[in-house]
Amino acid sequence: MWSWRADWTAPLWRRPALTVGACVLAAAVLGARTFARPELAAVLYLGVVGALLVLVDLKLHRLPNPLTLPSYPIALALLGVAAAVEGDARPFVHALIGLATLWALYAVQWFLLPGQIGFGDVKLAGVLGLYLGWYGSDAWVTGVFLTYLSGGLVAIGLLLARRRGRRDAIPYGPFMVAGTFAAILAFAG
């Protein structure tokens, strides 16, 4: 249920300077790369929501629906307007393909490897696939590759350092967001 004081918001309210700083930094970095482009508003939105999701997932190992689910219509609307302003529907069509493909990839993983990723990761994958698809297949592949690479390397490092065991959960949302942000920075413009 939605509430500004829901349990998932606690990590955000407990450290407001970190929350605001992370949102501003993510939006500023992504915004600087997409400045004066039609998709600027959509990318700024992703920066803020992505930062919030990372903070919550790191603390609670959850990607809350009140952040992920509204991101679908909001991102679709903002990217739809960007496509109209650009006068080219192809990036929007690619975005829809990216959404469906990344959502399906994560849904298959969730189904075949129970307990390895949560369904929150599946829901987030669709939103991130939308943005990656907007920038084309190379951006999509790069974002997915960087997600798996960074998540895998950190997991191996934590195992080798004995900070986590093989059965310990590691929040995956931060790697998904980081991979997407890196791909946007590499392919925007």
Tell me phi and psi for residue 130, to 5 degrees: -60, -50
pTM: 0.94
Residues of the chain with pLDDT under 50: 1
Predicted local distance difference test score (pLDDT) of residue 74: 99
Work out the burial of residue 169: count CB atoms within 10 Å of its CB; fewer than 13 is exposed, 13-18 middle, 19 or more buried: exposed
Interatomic CA distance for residues 63 and 71, integer angstroms: 12
The pLDDT value recorded for residue 167 is 80
Say how far apart CA 158 and CA 79 lie, in whole Å: 37
* For the chain, domain boundaries: 7-187
The predicted pLDDT at position 3 comes to 54
Distances (CA, A) of 164 to 25, 154, 160: 29, 10, 8
Tell me: the pLDDT tens digits for 125-146?
999 999 999 999 999 999 999 9
Q: Rounded to 5 degrees, what angle do the CA atoms 129, 174, 43 make?
A: 50
Tally of CB atoms within 10 A around 182: 17
